[in-house]
């Protein structure tokens, strides 16, 4: 537990006061009072709890002076104790060639700015080698876990703070790899919101229809090359995935799916590509799950249930702290297999009130099942809508690339078992890892690849799933398991 002593003005929240001091609490909902993660304990003189705090905190916590930092605006001096946001999130980076055998001295850096984490690779551009790679959490996370909260924070006048945070993260990663952030050529891929925030562009139009970005073209800013995106919700990270997978040069039709919160996907080949994004929600990142956590040490990542007995594995073999994305998927599969949950998503009466216990203090609840249903249905329905629009069946798909850390680690049989993926594609599925970083690496190593990025953008057409009747029908259908 850390402590902070400060002076409030009756208007600024404790969360904001701490952020100004570069102290970051977990704040998944970005200060809207809904996630219940920004807990602080007042050491004397706790303000009266608000109704919304009473819903998020137990009576015991309230009695101990625990409050939500985003809801309290102390007027005068105060002291609080708290846990800072987690710094260690498991994240996919890239295989390195190491630094053996010297270096040509021609270096560049490739960077993927993810909403949760940032990954960077140091390259020897002459020898076409990856010398080093690093990751860190995106410290903008203190302003909310998803892009919507970041857009909101930026629109509330915090754009500059968000820009400085990500710039600082990039500088730190580049410096750690022994390069000068002011001079080393750097190639950056990120979703459209991340690229806007990095450049200090207004996010006003990103959050409201017709969702128009300010600038998503390929362009150079000082020593940084910003890769191009397709739209507000299909950004440069997905274009990088398209290029890294080679879909833009393939004769055969391939598909790329990023199983993250925005569930971006692309289908196509060298002649035509269709893209879409679907509001899958953060369930497969451990978000909005009652005992959900990011991929941190101690997160339950593997689960089996046999006749009610639970066995699990945690990241780093640490004491269990919650369920990360793969853990969520696996417990869902196991509960269906054991018939503790039926195909409509209904839980056995024995577990409806308190949830299914995995271990002490970690349960999987009825509400968590709804989150999984929403996420898996959005992804499956989105993928099938794109296929219909493209005029291709599962047989016609040559390869399915699953992007991101979650895609790397999921058990495909279990993913098909709960219906995220169809059985027909299991054999054709390939984990693409951090394909956004892989695309940035290609562009950093070879300037000619940059044209492929621009070409891929021109080749791509976005399908609006929210306006698609086909999507809406499939979405309802795939809510069932």
| Contact status, residue 364 vs residue 331, Cβ threshold 8 Å | yes
CA dist., res. 442 & res. 434, Å (int) = 13
Least CB distance from residue 162 to ligand FES, whole Å?
15
Least CB distance from residue 142 to ligand FES, whole Å?
9
Helix (H) or strand (E) holding 403: strand 399-403
DSSP string, 407-457: HHH--HHHHHHHTSS-GGGGGGEEEEESHHHHHHHHHHH-HHHHHHHHHHH
CA dist., res. 373 & res. 349, Å (int) = 19
Residue from 14, 17, 18, 35 touching ligand FES (CB under 6 A): that is 35
Q: Which is nearer to ligand FES, 33 or 65 (CB)?
A: 33
Binding footprint of ligand FES, residue count (CB under 6 A): 12
Least CB distance from residue 208 to ligand FES, whole Å?
22
CA dist., res. 320 & res. 301, Å (int) = 10
Let me know the angle formed at the C-alpha of 182 by 181 and 188, rounded to the nearest 5 degrees: 60
Interaction between residue 33 and ligand FES (CB under 6 A): yes
Q: Which two tokens stand for residue 311?
A: 């066995």
Q: Which stretch binds ligand FES (CB under 6 A): 23-31, 185-193, 253-261, 382-390?
A: 23-31
Q: Which is nearer to ligand FES, 31 or 404 (CB)?
A: 31
Q: Which residue has the tokens 């690339």?
A: 401
Least CB distance from residue 319 to ligand FES, whole Å?
25
Interaction between residue 49 and ligand FES (CB under 6 A): no
In order of 2, 95, 194, 442, the CA distances from 130 in angstroms are: 38, 8, 24, 11
Site string for ligand FES, 51-90 (x = CB under 6 A): -----------------x-x--------------------
Interaction between residue 27 and ligand FES (CB under 6 A): yes
Least CB distance from residue 79 to ligand FES, whole Å?
19
Burial of 160 (0-12, 13-18, 19+ CB in 10 A): exposed
Least CB distance from residue 15 to ligand FES, whole Å?
6
CB-closest chain residue to ligand FES: 70
Q: Which is nearer to ligand FES, 86 or 237 (CB)?
A: 86
Least CB distance from residue 8 to ligand FES, whole Å?
16
Site for ligand FES in 239-278 (CB under 6 A): none
Cis amide linkage into residue 210, ω under 30° from 0: yes
- CA nearest to 420, candidates 245, 268, 263: 263
Q: Which is nearer to ligand FES, 33 or 422 (CB)?
A: 33
Interaction between residue 38 and ligand FES (CB under 6 A): yes
Residue ranges binding ligand FES (CB under 6 A): 27-29, 31, 33-38, 68, 70
């Amino acid at each position: 537990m850390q402590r902070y002593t400060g002076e409030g003005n009756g208007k600024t929240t404790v969360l904001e006061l701490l952020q100004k001091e570069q102290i970051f609490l977990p704040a998944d909902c970005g200060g809207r009072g809904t996630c219940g993660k920004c807990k602080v304990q007042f050491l004397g003189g706790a303000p009266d709890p608000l109704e919304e705090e009473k819903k998020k905190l137990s009576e015991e916590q309230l009695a101990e002076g625990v409050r939500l930092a985003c809801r309290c605006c102390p007027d005068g001096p105060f002291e609080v104790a708290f846990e800072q946001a987690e710094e260690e999130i498991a994240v996919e980076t890239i295989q390195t060639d190491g630094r053996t055998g010297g270096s040509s001295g021609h270096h560049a850096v490739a960077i993927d700015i993810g909403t949760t984490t940032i990954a960077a690779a140091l390259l020897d551009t002459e020898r076409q080698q990856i010398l080093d790679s690093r990751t860190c959490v995106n410290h903008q996370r203190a302003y909310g876990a998803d892009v919507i909260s970041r857009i909101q924070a930026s629109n509330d006048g915090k754009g500059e703070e968000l820009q400085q945070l990500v710039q600082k993260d990039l500088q730190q990663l580049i410096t750690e790899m022994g390069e000068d952030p002011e001079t080393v050529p750097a190639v950056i891929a990120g979703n459209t919101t991340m690229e806007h925030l990095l450049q200090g562009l207004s996010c006003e139009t990103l959050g409201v229809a017709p969702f128009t970005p300010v600038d998503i073209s390929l362009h150079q800013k000082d020593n940084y090359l910003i890769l191009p995106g397709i739209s507000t919700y299909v950004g440069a990270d997905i274009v990088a995935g398209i290029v890294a997978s080679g879909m833009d040069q393939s004769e055969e039709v391939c598909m790329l799916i990023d199983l993250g919160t925005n569930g971006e996907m692309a289908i196509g080949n060298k002649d035509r590509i269709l893209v879409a994004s679907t509001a899958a929600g953060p369930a497969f990142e451990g978000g909005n799950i009652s005992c959900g956590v990011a991929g941190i040490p101690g997160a339950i990542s593997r689960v089996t249930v046999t006749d009610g007995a639970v066995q699990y594995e945690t990241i780093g073999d640490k004491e269990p702290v919650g369920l990360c994305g793969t853990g969520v998927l696996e417990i869902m599969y196991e509960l269906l297999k054991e018939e503790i949950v039926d195909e409509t998503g209904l839980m056995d009466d024995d577990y409806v009130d308190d949830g299914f216990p995995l271990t002490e203090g970690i349960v999987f609840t009825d509400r968590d099942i709804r989150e999984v249903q929403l996420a898996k249905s959005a992804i499956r329905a989105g993928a099938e809508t794109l296929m219909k629009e493209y005029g291709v069946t599962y047989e016609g798909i040559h390869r399915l690339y699953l992007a991101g850390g979650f895609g790397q680690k999921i058990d495909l049989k279990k993913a098909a078992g709960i219906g995220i993926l169809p059985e027909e594609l299991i054999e054709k599925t390939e984990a693409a890892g951090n394909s956004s970083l892989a695309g940035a690496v290609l562009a950093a190593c070879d300037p000619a690849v940059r044209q492929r990025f621009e070409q891929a953008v021109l080749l791509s057409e976005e399908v609006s799933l929210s306006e698609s009747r086909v999507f809406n029908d499939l979405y309802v259908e795939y809510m069932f398991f």
